[in-house]
Amino acid sequence: MNGINEAEIYTSKGLELPGYFRPTKKWDLLVVANNSLVAALELKSQVGPSFGNNFNNRTEEAMGSALDIWTAFEKGVFGNSSAPWLGYLMLLEDCPQSQCSVSVQEPHFKVFEEFRTASYAKRYELFCRKLVLERYYTASCFLLSAKTSYVNREFEYPSGDLTFNRFVASLLGQINAFVANRHSS
């Protein structure tokens, strides 16, 4: 893959990385080459019916994983590696429950306006975008698919900045830069 050997891409075993706040975290895909962490991907999905609880769990997990790996990176756990590429991909079931407006509770303080009547689909879109804007992840992808559609690989991208093509282009940019640096060393 663009100058990365197949043996440097981990998809089924060897997916654990050390953290700072916990001993290890298992990622869904890793690229580790020349004793350097090149890329780590987190792949998540959610199918109803508990959109509220699952949304909160997914957001907390993603932010915690990012904090853990970036802190470990800053503490030198990955040696002299350049900053790794971190990717977050979320596939959400496209159904009435994920698309309807959801109310918020504001007993003490007002929530950000963009959340006020946002559906769970919109909340995931905002979350994926903010992960990148706040530099928790290098790239993020958000896909919607009805239960009957994802078997046929029919997906919808609610936002042009969170497409799979942009996600992969960002990853390939990281890999190309790593390979170029490896060959010049």
The rounded distance, in Å, linking the Cα atoms of 32 and 10 is 8
Kindly tell me if the per-residue pLDDT of 167 is higher than 70.
yes
DSSP state of 135: T
Mean of pLDDT values over 109-118: 92
- By C-alpha distance, which of 30, 10, 159 is closest to 87? 30
Domain ranges of the chain: 6-176
Q: Does position 150 have pLDDT exceeding 60, yes or no?
A: no
Determine the pLDDT at residue 89: 98
Q: In the prediction, which pLDDT does 180 show?
A: 85
**Which residues face 62 on adjacent strands?**
none
Mean pLDDT taken over the chain:
91
| pLDDT of the residue at 185 | 59
Checking if the pLDDT of 149 tops 70, the result is: no
**78 contacts 36 by C-beta, under 8 angstroms:** yes
Q: How far lies 58's CA from each of 15, 42, 44, 82, 104, in Å?
A: 19, 11, 8, 27, 18
* Tens digit of each residue's pLDDT (9 = 90 or more) over 4-23: 889 999 999 999 999 999 99
